[in-house]
Amino acid sequence: MLNESKRAVVFTGAGISTESGIPDFRSPGGIWTKMAPIEFQDFIASEEMRRESWRRKFAMEETFAQAEPNLGHQAVAELVRRGTVSAIITQNIDNLHQDSGVPDARVIELHGNGSYATCLDCGCRYELDVIKQSFVGRDELPVCRDCGGMVKTATISFGQSMPLGPMQRAEEETLACDLFIVIGSSLVVHPAASFPLIAKRNGARLVILNREETPLDDYADLVLHEEIGETLSVAVAG
Ligand code: NAD
Ligand code: ZN
């Protein structure tokens, strides 16, 4: 299918990064088997929730900071280099596609990026290490120095509206491709999980590579319940 494709899109979820040591959400031992996510409304409404959210962020930060792209990311990067894959639509916030050498312009982040923070009101960017200095030990919540707005990691929480630009680009890429490859997503988080079906309905072939079953397996032309790094390395070498 890769050889026959003129324009492929890769759609990734947390599963592509587990081999880099970042836990996914829904696998056994995944983050949500341990704690419930903090919804956007609660972050806005409660100082205690904002503190809890930053506490979790900094507790996880070392894992994210040390993670490096794995065989799966490298295989996808190779497909982008070859021109087979025109875009990577990702639900991940870990920056590992960019770290694997894929140009920023080819990575569409549906759920934002966790490697920095922004002001919710004016969009101004803040670096995590600066926030960490005043938060850890002192519990000071970050506030925008320009407008006084709340500062939050640049990720999209449940209840927060999806980013318009990336959503639009994801739709355009989905409608322009003839092959749509899902890698490491349980395909239960919407609207992100609607893209594979949009591609399929538009005539593209659909491939799902995920260890566990997904609700869209029945619609796919090929389903691989396999490990990502090894499987993609073989597919790209062949
Ligand atoms: P998910 O946790 O719901 O699903 C991950 C899927 O990947 C699971 O079905 C699991 O079986 C599969 N998987 C895990 N490791 C695998 C491997 N090595 N080989 C094959 N399959 C493997 O993740 P999701 O669908 O991305 O949805 C979770 C949400 O959480 C997303 O919105 C994302 O923004 C966020 N998230 C991101 C990260 C990250 O950036 N790395 C990590 C956790 C969660
Ligand atoms: Zn601001």
Q: What angle do CA 158, 90, 71 make, to 5 degrees?
A: 130
Q: What percent of the chain has pLDDT over 90?
A: 88
Sequence length of the chain is 238
If you take atom 40 of ligand 1, which residue's CA is the nearest one? 92
Measured in Å, residue 138 CA sits from the centre of ligand 2 at 22
When mean pLDDT is compared across 87-101, 129-143, 202-216, the lowest value belongs to 129-143
Q: Do residues 128 and 216 both lie within one domain?
A: no
Reduced to 3 states (helix: H, G, I; strand: E, B; else coil), residue 76 is helix
- How far is Cα 95 from Cα 221, in angstroms, rounded to an integer? 29
Q: Do residues 91 and 148 both lie within one domain?
A: no
Residue of 25, 96, 212 with the most ligand 1 atoms within 8 Å of its CB, for mutation: 25
Q: Do residues 102 and 198 both lie within one domain?
A: yes
Check if 189 has its Cβ closer than 6 Å to any atom of ligand 1. Answer: yes
CATH of residue 232's domain is 3.40.50.1220
In the prediction, which pLDDT does 33 show?
66
Token digits of residue 172? 């355009």
In the prediction, which pLDDT does 196 show?
98
Check if 92 has its Cβ closer than 6 Å to any atom of ligand 1. Answer: yes
Parent domain of 105: 1-22+67-111+162-238
Average pLDDT over residues 155-163: 95
Band the pLDDT of 91: cuts 50, 70, 90. very high
Least Cα distance to 90 among 200, 184, 22 occurs for: 184
Give me the residue label for tokens 């900071």.
Answer: 65
Give the ligand with the smallest distance to the CA of 228: 1
- How far is Cα 237 from Cα 195, in angstroms, rounded to an integer? 27
Number of domains comprising the chain: 2
Token digits of residue 212? 């566990």
Average pLDDT over residues 60-71: 92
- How far is Cα 124 from Cα 41, in angstroms, rounded to an integer? 21
- Beta strands 112-119; 151-155: pairing state: antiparallel
If you take atom 19 of ligand 1, which residue's CA is the nearest one? 227
The mean pLDDT of the chain is 95
Q: Do residues 6 and 85 both lie within one domain?
A: yes
